[in-house]
């Protein structure tokens, strides 16, 4: 069976949602973020043999898995027989209430409740100790390890979306382009994979879910990343202060990352 190619920047897959290269954007001093080094996706539990061959061909030497221990246990990633990349993960939970797991509130999930649920995710993330630790390890891996780097979580949109956004900011990418990259998740040609993996668990928790609520929960909105930026700026004065003071990405580390990841 011939696989029809997906539109750029998405890589053609059978069972991996939202796999894409998030390079190519203009960064500091007119340089561009290198392509072929930075990848993001959802989890790999349903990866086909062709998907695994594809990932193996990308020379990905580091995978940063933002999922918590319970997610990794329930949804173990498939691996190529020659897989040798280092996997960086947190030995605990990285979120107390991922959208695909439901939550304490079992009332009807309306569109507005779905939106508010996601806003709360992005409000908590800047102060979540587990995610702070994972973002630190993510930046360290980018500075110290060669080859390609892949970040992912369950859906590849929230924890992964923030991680990619922070790196693009470090590389000098304009916020408008950061937002454009973030919103590409809604254009992923693999939404059916995410729905298959997440909707049964959500419906078992909430019952029937309004279509717009589903879009708010498994997609992204500009206000989601805007909320993260707003929370960080309010508490730290700027994203750059947060990067330096909380994540350890000061001007010297920025310069080193730009040397490696801009061309």
Q: Which residues pair with 63 in a beta bridge?
A: 87, 150
For residue 131, give the H/E element and its range.
Answer: helix 129-144
User: Which listed residue (54, 153, 232, 239) is catalytic?
Assistant: 153
10 Å CB burial of residue 211 (0-12, 13-18, 19+) is exposed
Cα–Cα dist 156/3, whole Å: 22
Residue 63, SS3 per DSSP: strand
Tally DSSP H helices, then E strands, for the chain: 11, 5
Known catalytic residue at 77: no
Cα–Cα dist 118/123, whole Å: 9
DSSP symbol at 55 = H
Which active-site residues does the annotation give? 153
């Amino acid at each position: 069976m011939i696989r029809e190619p997906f539109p750029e920047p998405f890589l053609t897959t059978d069972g991996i949602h939202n796999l894409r290269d998030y390079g190519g954007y203009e960064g500091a001093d007119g340089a561009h973020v290198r392509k072929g080094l930075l990848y993001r996706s959802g989890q790999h539990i349903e990866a086909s043999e062709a998907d695994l061959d594809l990932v193996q061909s990308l020379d990905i030497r580091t995978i940063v898995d933002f999922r918590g221990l319970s997610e990794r246990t329930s949804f173990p990633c498939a691996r190529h027989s020659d897989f040798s990349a280092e996997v960086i993960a947190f030995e605990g939970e990285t979120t107390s209430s991922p959208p695909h797991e439901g939550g304490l509130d079992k009332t009807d999930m309306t569109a507005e409740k779905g939106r508010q649920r996601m806003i709360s995710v992005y409000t908590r993330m800047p102060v979540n100790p587990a995610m702070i630790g994972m973002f630190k390890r993510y930046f360290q891996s980018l500075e110290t390890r060669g080859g390609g780097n892949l970040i992912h979580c369950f859906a590849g949109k929230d924890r992964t979306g923030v991680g990619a956004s922070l790196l693009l900011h470090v590389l000098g990418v304009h916020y408008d382009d950061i937002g454009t990259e973030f919103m590409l998740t809604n254009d992923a040609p693999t939404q059916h994979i995410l729905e298959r993996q997440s909707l049964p668990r959500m419906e078992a928790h909430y019952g029937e879910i309004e279509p717009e609520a589903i879009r708010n929960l498994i997609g992204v909105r500009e206000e989601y990343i805007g909320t993260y930026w707003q929370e960080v700026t309010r508490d730290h004065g700027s994203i750059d202060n947060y990067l330096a003071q909380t994540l350890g990405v000061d001007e010297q580390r920025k310069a080193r990352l730009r040397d490696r990841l801009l061309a």
